[in-house]
Structure 1
Amino acid sequence: GLDTLSYANALKNAMREAPDVIVIGEIRDAETMHQAVAYAETGHLCLSTMHAANSYQALERIVNFFPESSHRQLLSDLAMNVRAVVSQRLLVGKDGKRIPAVEVMLNTPYIASLIEKGEFESIRDAIAKNETGGAISFDSALLELYKNGQISEQEALKNADSESNLHVKIRLLEGANYAAGHRETLSMEDDKDEDDNGTVFGA
């Protein structure tokens, strides 16, 4: 390009520009990933993308860039420096248009410990059990889209991380909605009975 001799050269020399934020278009190899971790270790915010189905698979893919002999140190570096992983899936909405379902993994102390131990599959449940501060699992995001009438049940289940778990949550949601509607109907009937049985005063 006009500003650098090569992609690799740009990665190596980015720090000389005293950046506040470094954006790497896509991480496709170990060299790029290594440089991204190095940026984070020096206190710089580094943003990048990669192809992965969800948060924990993104972490697995990062680790698989490197030989097994370096995994222990890499896991420690990731646990300390990763701040968040945001994953997106494009779904077909009820109106036929594309709509994103977004998972957000925030690096809490518990998730950091899972990363350091390489227990990536446990991260999905960890996100679901502690959806605070903006964190949300894919299945919760799908349930919210279904609840708001934006996607069908079939579309939600097809894209779920755990189809069986999401199916149960949808049934529970429908049961709660039915119960709420039934209570409202009974309340309206009670109000009507009170009106019908009211006392009329007159001469």
Structure 2
Amino acid sequence: EDPDIILVGEMRDLETIRLALTAAETGHLVFGTLHTSSAAKTIDRVVDVFPAGEKSMVRSMLSESLRAVIAQTLLKKVGGGRLAAWEVMIGTPAIRNLIREDKVAQMYSAIQTGQAFGMQTLDQNLKELLQKGLITRQDARARAQHKDAFT
């Protein structure tokens, strides 16, 4: 069969990640899940699975084929229930360059300033949810990447 869209439930091992990257490179739309807390950690996790000699090639593959990373976390909602907070990273030329050049540490700043492209950090979304009264400051701080912003 020749699927247009591929969903990979869990991308935990080298073989699965390698197959997903190959499928993406050949024009398939690939959705995959990883247990990470941010977009930058997602990139690191994918690259770190590969042997040292392949990391540069994998960064190049990711920089060419990655369209977006969405990291989410569930929080208790004020008044009961739960709601999700998201970090959204779009594969803009700047993001692609950071991936290719192994400058993942700079990704947070690029996401933070990339709102015009639909990007937002988890902290930005947590602040929005807090301002709307949907979550508590304590819960926002517990999930924040930069906890000092929620004191």
TM-score category by the smaller chain?
over 0.9
Post-superposition CA distance 1:156-181 (Å, at most 9, x none): 111111112x338xxxxxxxxxxxxx
* TM-score with structure 1 setting the length: 0.72
**Highest RCO, 1 vs 2 (Cα 8 Å, sep ≥ 6):** 2
Match of 1:100 among 64, 74, 84: 84
Contact 1:131 1:137 in 2 (8 A): no
Q: Which has the larger radius of gyration?
A: 1
Post-superposition CA distance 1:25-84 (Å, at most 9, x none): 111101010111101111110111011111110111101111111111111000111100
Classify the secondary structure of the residue corresponding to 1:50: coil
Which residue identity lines up with residue 77 of structure 1 in the other structure?
Answer: M
Classify the secondary structure of the residue corresponding to 1:132: helix
Is 2:136 aligned against 1:152?
yes
Structure 2 gap ranges (5+): none
Is 2:70 aligned against 1:65?
no
* TM-score with structure 2 setting the length: 0.95
Which residue identity lines up with residue 151 of structure 1 in the other structure?
Answer: I
Q: Which has the higher helix share?
A: 1
Is 2:15 aligned against 1:28?
no
Aligned to 2:107: 123
Contact 1:21 1:44 in 2 (8 A): yes
Which residue identity lines up with residue 158 of structure 1 in the other structure?
Answer: A
Deviating beyond 4 angstroms after TM superposition, the runs of 4 or more aligned structure 1 residues are: none
The percent identity for this pair of structures is: 36
Q: Which has the higher strand share?
A: 2
Match of 1:81 among 39, 56, 65: 65
